[in-house]
Amino acid sequence: MASTAPVIMRIMASSIQTAKRAGGIIRDVLKQGDLGIVDKGKNDPQTEADRSAQRCIIASLTKKFPGVKIIGEEGGSDLNVCDDWLVEDLDEEFLQKSCPAEWRDAKPEDFVIWVDPLDGTAEYTQGYVEHVTVLIGIAVKDAAVGGIIHQPFYQQPDGELGRTIWGLKGLGTGGFTHSLAPPGEFIITTTRSHSNALHQQALNAFPATKILKVGGAGFKVLQLLEGKAHAYLFATPGCKKWDTCAPEAVLEAQGGFLTDINGKNYSYNADVEHVNRQGVLASVGENHSELVYKIPRKVREAVGV
């Protein structure tokens, strides 16, 4: 079955299992106590968990899909990993699903996989571990079409840690229960730590009844998917393609939208600039374009200049 499945279905099925293993590594590093923190820049730490989880993900996916371009947040990785970090199996339940016709003939050279091995590193180091996600985004040519969002510290009803959410455009989503945000309110989720004057001007333009400040692009999009917020706004150039590829694919597979603050989708081919210079606006409703035009024009023109 696996050998005959379309490439995109095998990449998704492998990424589901690999994200779970990376989540285990992230929990193990925290349990050991020495996070091995290195500062990459202001509010941008890197830990041993980031480095190890990325090695696990890229080594595993490279071995299975040598013709696919993979770009990770932490740069080049040593692919000589222990057997315990090399994920060989695929998610059989996902492989049973029918591949959407538009992706059936996509070839390995059409794909780019964007990896954020630990989204929400600052929160991880500060003890807000529920904000942490593993993100594996799958682009076909320019478009984000598939994504995995794994939560290493999500506690299941039986006490088991970890939850894996997936989305594939044309197929749908899995791993969670979709809920709508409360009617009669307008809740925005936004950054905990990367605000500036332009971003605040954009926030002030919305009649928000509540603002949820959380860490990580993956966790912010989960607020939308689970009905805790109506929109996600980040009106400043801070996040990167590995932050948004997977969340965009999952959200849009559920019928939502993730664009820049001018309403344009980002491109995810291998040659694009990694920085999302025009910020992020995401929503779950049909009024996405209305939200774009609520952001003052001077903000939309100034962000990324």
Is it the case that residue 154 has pLDDT exceeding 90? Answer: yes
pTM, full prediction: 0.94
Q: Which two tokens stand for residue 131?
A: 């904000």
CA-to-CA distance for 220 and 11, rounded, in angstroms? 24
Report CA torsion sign: 150, 54, 12, 255. Answer: positive
Annotated active-site residue 50? The verdict is yes
Interval 211-231 mean pLDDT: 97
Please say if the pLDDT value at position 94 is more than 90: yes
Cα 124 to Cα 126: distance, rounded to the nearest angstrom: 5
Q: How confident is the model at residue 73 (pLDDT cuts 50, 70, 90)?
A: confident
Mean pLDDT for 31-44 is: 66
- State which fold the 2-172 domain adopts: Fructose-1,6-Bisphosphatase; Chain A, domain 1 (3.30.540)
Which distant-in-sequence residues (6+ apart) come within 8 Å of 75 by Cβ?
none
Domain ranges of the chain: 2-172, 187-303
Handedness of CA 77, 8, 165, 211 (dihedral sign): positive
Query: Of 177, 176, 99, nearest to 138 (Cα)?
Result: 99
Confidence of residue 129 (pLDDT cuts 50, 70, 90): very high
Mapped onto helix, strand or coil, the DSSP state of residue 26 is helix
Q: Which residues are annotated as a binding site for Mg(2+)?
A: 73, 116, 118-119, 243
44 is catalytic: no
Domain 187-303 CATH assignment equals 3.40.190.80: yes
Confidence (pLDDT) at 192: 82
Catalytic hit among 18, 47, 50, 173: 50
What pLDDT score was predicted for residue 38?
A: 63
Q: What is the pLDDT of residue 77?
A: 65
Is residue 73 a contact partner of residue 117, using CB atoms and an 8 Å limit? Answer: yes
User: Of residues 18, 47, 121, 236, which has the active-site annotation?
Assistant: 121
Tokens of 117: 């091995």
Annotated binding site: 73, 116, 118-119, 243
Q: How many residues does the chain have?
A: 305
- Stretch 111-117: mean pLDDT: 97
Q: For residue 40, is pLDDT > 60? A: no
pLDDT at 39: 65
pLDDT reading at 44 higher than 60: no
Question: Alpha-carbon torsion 280, 286, 289, 294, what sign?
Answer: negative
